[in-house]
Every structure is written in structure tokens, then in C-alpha cells.
Amino acid sequence: MEFSKSFNIQALVKTIKEELLSDNNDPYSFIAPSAYDTAWLAMVPDMSEPCQPMFKNCLDWVLSNQNVEGFWGEYDGHGMPTIECLPATIACMIALKRWNAGETIIDKGMAFIEANAEKLIGEIYDSNCPRWFAIVFPAMVEMAQINGLEIIFPDRIKRVVMSMFYKREQILEREELVDRYHYPPLLSYLEALPALYNFDQEDALKHLHADGSLFQSPSATASAFMATGNKDCLNYLQTLAQKCTHGVPQTYPMDEELLKLCMVNQLQRLGLAEHFNQEIEELLQQVYRYMNYMNQESWPKGTNSMATQLYKDSLAFCLLRTHGFRVSPCMFCWFLLEEEVQDQIESNHEYFSGAVLNVYRATDLMFPGDHELEEARSFSRKLLEKTISMGNNDQHPVPFPSFHSVIKHELRFPWMARLDHLEHRMWMEEKNSSGLWMGKTSFHRLSCLHNDKLKQLAVKNYEFRRTTYKSELEELTRWSKSWGLSDMGFGREKTAYCYFAVAASTSLPQDSEIRMMVAKSAIVITVADDFYDVEGSLDDLEKITDAVQRWDAKGLSGHSKTIFDALDSLVNELARKYFRQHGTDITNSLRDIWSETFASWFTEAKWSKSGFLPAAEEYLETGMTSIASHTLVLPASCFLSPSIPDYKLNPAQYESITRLLMVIPRLLNDIQGYKKEQKEGKTNFVLLHSKENPEADIEDSIAYAREILDRKKKELLEHALMDGFNDFSKPCRHLHLSCVKVFHMFFDSSNRYDSNTEMLQDIQKAFYIPVEVGAPKPLLPHSGSKQRYPTVVASYHFDQRYKNRIIRLAANSVVSHPISGNPYMKMPMAPKLKFCFM
């Protein structure tokens, strides 16, 4: 059964490598086409035969790519249509109506809107209508009405729909066509500006890019060409249509290095990196070379929009630094150099939210001396908190409500406190997991084909791990019970906690041997530590400490004998395995590490029972050993490939990264547990610092400990990710980092390890509950009846000037272009429209 699952996974991996990661594949195929922009190209008439479309392949795409439910556009991560599909569907229906094509699928699209507009519009209205939607959606409704498509909205949402018309009116009155306060500029939505919104044609054309595009937007450029006949616009559109024969993207050209980065990021976030290590490394090498990061402060910014460039630069920094490339924060912290740029980001809160979130994620990878990252973290966190708090404010709407949950997760849980296995699951189940970076009218999204295959592989991979982990936990539970460790009658029974922490922090199911040895060690440590803390008398503790120093159980009985026997068996098991693999006996080295650990517990027990208060530094030197993190990691590192040299197990030879591994969990524990230990008559670093500094209160001591902790975490991160600081291999360094993340998870906001309930839900998700990735769900039922709601074009308290504008538009059978005033949508006379002004 397990072989069959593994075979299926490898077959899917092979398919994805061929279809997605091959050098022969077009990077544009990674991104879903924009139904909205493709529809606009489909509307463009041929210059020599105005009764025919210029880009027939775009019209064919519209005809062939209506989803079964009746809409055009992409599904979200739960298999549901996104809010972007409303304007996209209307635009596609207009394009079909323009050429008298697809009458049946137009009817199907109309039925979809009638049945689902209330639900989709309600989702964004609850968190306030985004600026892009307020500009584009009313325009598409007006164009549809003018072209004989009667968009039906239920009575229940009349006011909601017309509030969007009113918001658009406010935007048009408030904003200039291009200014430094609004982004993307109003002119980039040229195709959606009302016919009576007059401005100078030459003024608009001066904003054409060198490639002939208007802000690299196919829809806006198509509109500009139909209005002006500009040859540069035509050349751009023809190049675009030739390049993208299966639907056009919403941005063209796209940054191919950004597409590669998005591929890598998606593979990692779905937990699939282990299957594509070589491909990921090659893609990052390409990006690294192309962007010339060896001279990062002067590399060119290219032609991306500011938001896209910031998204790309922060993502590149994050991925490259994670994979050990030496990169400077300057590559994405350029936005800190100009106050005007920061002002623009803050003013266009909605549009920049995805890029700012990436900036915040990048600052998780802070090394000592990265002062720019401190400033970037403060700026981005402040802005993200504002996004959450002002989601219902007119000035700061959120582009997609589901994006709220992603931001909240990033702000609430430090990266260092997250475990890979659960993070992968969360991303699989995230509604907006297919969204990449924000475009003009929607997220750039993974193509449906690639997204489905990646999700399918991710689920199979996760379920394979989950089954493996569940089986290993059962084996570990039997081991713990067989040695009597789960029935000691005192302290904490943490078999499931220990295994969960080990398994969920690593994503490699083939490392079963390492997981089991670390988990067994953690169980022994937990039981022995509790024996020293709460059960054993000083005489008992002295005996077991001496027995471990001699490695001889003579004189032990009861709990002491149970602990020693389990430890002796574990050490012998590891030594035998290592000898079989390497021909070297490491028994004495393993015993030395455990002896050191038991001695530190005994020292702390003597302090506690005698009431002795050591100096804070003396305590920390002992405490970083008694936390026993190195006792978990170093023996396990012997079984990695490549293995660490056996002499690295010698306490006198500990590398700096190992000493950092030892001190960080101790500080995390002491910051979180000082109240409990004070109540029990024990001491820790926070309490000792407070006693040594009577002028300071306890909060000052906590702040002092946090300052040391933050500095040590930055050092460890640099030593774990970068070569040159020690002789350890990358897998060994990453195991050090994984262990620190486990302790961070335990002691992030409370002592979760001591709680009997806090981690139960996480354990259930990790081992027992199947992953829930949304499949397309039934949409709201559509009865198919001919009953019609009153058509809504206006249902709000507008002034007479705006009422007259809408009425004039509806009365015309020809839409005038906002720049030239020339007709560009010749259609039969629209049917009489019904208006309801209130």
C-alpha cells in the first residue's frame, strides 16, 4: 500500500517536472490567462474588415473557456469562483455579443450572474468594495446594458450595486488620471472609464510605454487603440496575441524571473520542495545570476510596476537567503530610501498589501547588522496591522477578504514558531493559495491546470506523510510503554507531544530513523527532567547522576533504574547503528553528552533544594545544558548525510551554532515560565537578572532577556543558512534550526509543552485529520425560470447630474470612447432599460 502511494507520488512528480519545470516550457503557461483582458482583445475590430475581430484567437478562447458553471475566470483554492469573475464574465459576454457569437453561452453567463452575484458581491461588500472593483464592475454593467445585455440583479442587492456606482463617481471626481497618490493610476483603467469622462487624447498617449502599451495592461491598451488607432498600441497588441495564443495575461510583458520565483515559492509552501531540489536550485541560480546580486545596490529595476517590483525583490531575497545565497537587504529595502515612495505605498494600501506582506516575510530572515530589515519590519508590520484594523474603512479596503486570514496568520505566529508540516497543510487549505501577486483587476493566479496538479501532488504527499507519522507514533508509544516511561506515576506523559514536535518540524518522510531517535531521546529527557524537578529526593538524584557518570546501574532501583535502563538501551541502539554505517564506535561520546545533561539537572536541583541563587551568567551556562536541545540534535546529526565528525560530540568542541541552539531554548523557556518557577520556589534567568538589578522591575528583566534572545536568534539563523561559520553540513545546520523552531513553538505565547490540551488540535491535524482541499462546490441554485428581477442601473441617492449621465448613456446605441469621443462599440439599439432612482 505504501509502495503504491509512493509510486503514484513519483509519477505525478515526473509529470509536473515535464509540464511545468522543463526548460522547453513557456513560463507564461504557469499563469492563468485573464478572461477580462482576453475579452477586451476579442472586442478589437480588424482594421481592414471592421465586421471581423482582429484577434480571432482571443474570441475563440472566450468561446471555448467558459467554466461549466457559466462564468469566465479562475477558481479560488476552495474550488469556488472568485470576485474577479463577475467583471470578467460580463466582458466576455460583451465580446461575444459584439460579434453575434455564442448566444447559448451568453445565456449561461447571464444565468450565473443572476444566481451568484448576491453571494460574490456580498463577500467584498462586507469588507468594503475594493477600488479596482468599484471602477471596473460598474463600467462592465453599463457596457452590457448599452450593448443589449440586460444584467439582472436581485432586489436584495440593488443598493449594494448602486453604492458601487456611487463609489466610482467619488473616485472619478477625486482622482487625477495619473497622480502620485493613487496606484495603479486611473488611466490604467481606461477601458472602464465612463464615456462622458472627458480628457485630452494626447495627454493620455504620452503615458504609453516604449513597448506601445498603456501601463502594460492589455485591456487598457486595447481600449486606447480602438480610440486612437495608435500604431504603437497595435504593435503591442499584435505581439501579445502572437505570444499568448491561449488567452492573454492581465500584464504583458511579465517578468520571467518573477515567474520562476513564484514557481519555487509555490513548491515550497505546498511542501513539495523535497521532490524538486535540483530544479529549485537551478531556478534560483538563474535568478541570482540574472539579477546580478553581486552588485545589488545598483541593479536595474526593469519595467515592473512599483508594487510588482517590491513583491519580486522581497520574494527573491527571502528565497535566495533561505537557500544560502548571500544577498543584501538593499535589494528590496530601496523603498525605505524615499519618503515619497513610502507615502505612495501607504496611500495605496489596498493594492500594495500583497507586496507589503512579502516584505514582512522577508524580514523574518534577519541576520546581525541587518538594520534595514529592522526598519522594513516596523514599516510593513504597521501597515499590515492597519490593513486588518481598517478593513471596513472606505479609505483602506482589502482586495480580497480571504487575504485577511493570511495576514493575521503572519502577524500572529512568528516564523520561528511555525512547523513545516502544519504550514504546508494551511497553505493547501488556504482559499487564496492560487493567488500570486496583485494585478490591475485581480491577483495573477496559477493556471488552473498547474494549480490542480500541484494541489493533487501536495495532498498525496501530505497524506503519505500523515500515514507515515501516524504509524511511527504508534510504534513510539509502544516503545515508551515497554520501557515503563509512560507509566511513571509522576510528571508529564508527552510521547505524542515529543513525536509531533519532531515530525512536524521536518518535511522528509524518509528520515524515519532520525525522527524516532530524536523522539525517543525527548521522551527520556522529559521523564528524567521531571524526576529531577518534582519526584526524586536529593539522595535519589545524586545516585542516578553518579550512575550516568559511571554508566553503571549498580545501586539504582525504582524510577531511577527505569530511566537509566531506557537511556542505556537508547544509547546502545544509536551506537550500534552508527558503527554499522561508519565503522566507528561513538558509545563514549554519546554517554558524555548525556552525562553532561544529567549533571546540569543535578546542579539545578541542588540550587533549588538548598535555596542557593547563582549569578545570572552562571545559571545561564548551566541552564543552556539542562534544556537538553543539543542532546537531541548532535546524536541525530551523526545519521544525516553527510554526517558530522564524531569529535563534534565532545562538549569541549561544540560549534558556535550548537551553543546558540542551547541558549535560545533556555531563554525562551525562562521568559515564558518565570511566574511558574517563582511560585514553585525555583529560579531562572529572568528572576536572577531582576534580583541583580533591584532598580529594574520584572518587565525590564524580560526585555533584557528578549534583547539577548533576539540577538542570538539572528546569529543562529545566519549560522544555519550561510556557509563558512562552521564545519557542519547544510542538513545538520538545518536540523539545529528546526530544533530551535520547535522550542519557539512550545514557548511562543505560553508554555504549550506543559499544557495537556493546547497542542491536541495541532496533533490531530498532523496525524489524524485528512487534509481538506476544496473541490468545486455547488453554486447557488438557478431555477431556470423566466422570472426577472427589476433591472438595476441606479438605486441610490444620487444627484440629478449623475442620474442624467446614466440615462444619457442608456439612451445611446453607440458607446463613445472617453478619450476621442469616437464610437468603438457599434451595436443594435439596446432594449428599453428600467431605472429605479430612490
Q: Are 151 and 90 in contact (CB under 8 A)?
A: yes
* Phi (first) and psi of residue 72, to 5 degrees: -110, 145
276 DSSP β-pair partners = none
Sign of CA dihedral 554, 560, 566, 572: negative
Can you give the pLDDT at residue 650? 83
Closest CA to 136 of 75, 93, 213, 188: 188
Q: In which band, very low, low, confident or very high, does the pLDDT at 336 lie, cut at 50, 70 and 90?
A: very high
Query: 780 with 116: CB under 8 angstroms?
Result: yes
Confidence class for position 762, pLDDT limits 50, 70, 90 = very high
Query: What is the rounded average pLDDT of the residues 23-36?
Result: 87
Cβ distance 601 to 528 under 8 Å?
A: yes
> Which amino acid does the sequence have at 424?
H
How many other CB atoms sit within 10 Å of the CB of residue 409? Answer: 14
Q: pLDDT for 478-533, tens place per residue? A: 999 999 999 888 877 889 999 999 999 875 556 899 999 999 999 999 999 999 99
Whether pLDDT at 249 is above 50: yes
Q: For 117-174, how does the pLDDT look when each residue is reduced to its tens digit (9 = 90+)?
A: 988 887 776 556 888 999 999 999 999 999 999 888 888 888 888 889 999 999 999 9
Burial 86-120 (b: 16+ CB within 10 A, else e): bbbbbbbbbbbbbbebbeebbebbbbbbbbbbbeb
Assess whether the previous peptide bond of 642 is cis (omega < 30° from 0): yes
State the amino acid at position 763 in one-letter form: I
Least confident of 73-87, 105-119, 218-232, 281-295: 281-295
Could you tell me what percent of the chain has a pLDDT over 70? 87
Has residue 777 got a pLDDT over 70? no
CB atoms within 10 A of CB 72: 31
Cα 349 to Cα 133: distance, rounded to the nearest angstrom: 15
The model's confidence at residue 766, banded by pLDDT at 50, 70 and 90, is very high
Hunting for cell 425560470 — which residue is that? 785
Report DSSP letters for 263-292, one per residue: HHHHHHHTT-GGGSHHHHHHHHHHHHHHTT
Task: Provide φ and ψ at 53, rounded to 5°.
Answer: -70, 140
- Torsion angles phi and psi, residue 823, rounded to 5: -70, 140
pLDDT band with cut points at 50, 70 and 90 for residue 427: very high
Residue 805 pLDDT: 43
Radius of gyration for the chain, computed over Cα atoms and rounded to the nearest angstrom? 32
Bridge-based pairing state of the strands 443-445 and 814-816: unpaired
What per-residue confidence (pLDDT) applies to 390? Answer: 66
pLDDT-derived band at 326, boundaries 50, 70, 90: very high
The cell numbers describing 561, all together, are 533504574
The amino acid that residue 314 corresponds to is S
> How close are the terminal C-alpha atoms of the chain, in Å?
66
Segment 738-747 shows an average pLDDT of 94
170 burial via Cβ count (<10 Å: 0-12, 13-18, 19+): exposed
Q: How many CB atoms lie within 10 A of CB 122?
A: 13
Question: Does the pLDDT of residue 784 top 70, yes or no?
Answer: no
Report which residue type is found at 809.
Answer: L
What is the average pLDDT across 372-388? Answer: 94
Judged on CB neighbours under 10 Å (0-12, 13-18, 19+), 739 is: buried
> Which residue in the block uniquely carries the three cell numbers 464592475?
137
Q: What is the pLDDT of residues 199-223, one digit of tens each?
A: 667 777 889 999 999 999 999 999 9
DSSP 790: P
Look-up: residue for cell 484577434? Answer: 55
CA distance 582 to 680: 46
The secondary structure of 722-775 as a DSSP string is STTSSS--HHHHHHHHHHHHHHHHHTSSS-TTT-SSTTHHHHHHHHTSPP-PPP
Report pLDDT for 802: 39
Q: Is the pLDDT of residue 471 over 50?
A: yes
Give CA–CA dist 61/55, Å, rounded: 10
Average pLDDT over residues 563-568: 97
Q: In the prediction, which pLDDT does 215 show?
A: 94
Residue among 239, 242, 247, 243 at smallest CA distance from 448 = 247
Q: Which cell numbers hold the place of 436?
A: 500570486
Q: What sign results for the dihedral spanned by CA atoms 811, 812, 816, 821?
A: negative
Q: Quick one: which of 179, 172, 177, 136 has its CA closest to 39?
A: 136
Where does the pLDDT of residue 19 fall: very low under 50, low under 70, confident under 90, or very high at 90 and above? Answer: confident
Give me the helices (H) in 483-552, please: 495-504, 512-530, 538-550
Contact call for residues 213 and 236 (beta carbons, < 8 A)? yes
d(CA 625, CA 63): 69
Strand positions, DSSP E, 338-390: none
**DSSP at 446:** B
Q: Nearest CA to 787 among 86, 154, 68?
A: 154
Q: What share of the chain is helix, strand, coil (3-state, %, to 5)?
A: 65, 5, 35
Q: Which of 403-417, 517-531, 754-768, 791-805 has the highest mean predicted lDDT (pLDDT)? A: 517-531
**CA 785/CA 303 separation, integer angstroms:** 50
**236-250, 765-779, 820-834: the lowest-pLDDT one:** 820-834
- Taking the C-alpha atoms of residue 91 and residue 97, their distance in angstroms, rounded to an integer, is 10
For residue 479, CA distances in Å to 16, 472, 475, 764 come to: 40, 10, 6, 21
Q: Kindly tell me if the per-residue pLDDT of 570 is higher than 80.
A: yes
Q: Which of 46-50, 192-196, 517-521 has the lowest mean pLDDT?
A: 192-196
Is it the case that residue 449 has pLDDT exceeding 90?
Answer: no
Give the pLDDT of residue 563: 97
* Out of 95-109, 185-199, 249-263, 612-626, least confident range: 185-199
Q: How confident is the model at residue 813 (pLDDT cuts 50, 70, 90)?
A: very low
Helix (H) or strand (E) run with residue 167 in it: helix 158-174
User: Residue 366: which of 708, 718, 657, 667 has the closest Cα?
Assistant: 718
Single out the residue of 834, 832, 824 nearest to residue 193, CA to CA: 824
Spatial separation of the C-alpha atoms in residues 158 and 156, rounded to whole Å: 6
Residue 471: CA count within 13 A, CB half-sphere: 9
C-alpha distance from residue 119 to each of 318, 533, 780, 781 (Å) = 37, 58, 8, 12
- Peptide bond between residue 184 and the one before it cis (omega within 30 degrees of 0): yes
What is the structure's pLDDT at 682?
86
SS3 string, 190-245, reads HHHCCCCCCCCHHHHHCCECCCCCECCCHHHHHHHHHHHCCHHHHHHHHHHHHHCC
pLDDT category at 774 given cuts 50, 70, 90 is low
**pLDDT tens, residue by residue, 113-126:** 999 998 888 777 65
Identity at 268, one-letter amino acid code:
Q
Phi, psi of 388 (to 5 degrees): -70, -45
pLDDT tier at 770 (50, 70, 90 boundaries)? very high
Portion of the chain with pLDDT greater than 90, in percent: 63
pLDDT in tens, 289-299: 887 644 544 44
Partners of residue 75 on adjacent β-strands: 81
In the chain, count of helices (H) and strands (E)?
Answer: 32, 4
Of 817, 799, 607, 779, nearest in space to 69 by CA:
779
Does the pLDDT of residue 795 top 60, yes or no?
A: no
Task: Decide: 23 and 278 in contact? Cβ < 8 Å.
Answer: no
What pLDDT shows up at residue 265? 95
DSSP 817: P
Q: Which pLDDT does position 197 carry in this prediction?
A: 65
pLDDT value of residue 223:
94
Residue 391's pLDDT is: 56
- Cβ contact 692:620 at 8 Å: no
C-alpha cell at position 527: 521523564
The SS3 of residue 50 is coil
Residues 720, 416: contact at Cβ < 8 Å? no
- Position 754 pLDDT exceeds 90: no
The per-residue pLDDT of the chain, averaged, comes to 86
Q: How confident is the model at residue 507, as a pLDDT?
A: 59
Residue 798 pLDDT exceeds 70: no
438: pLDDT confidence band, cut at 50, 70 and 90?
A: confident
Assign 418 to helix, strand or coil.
coil
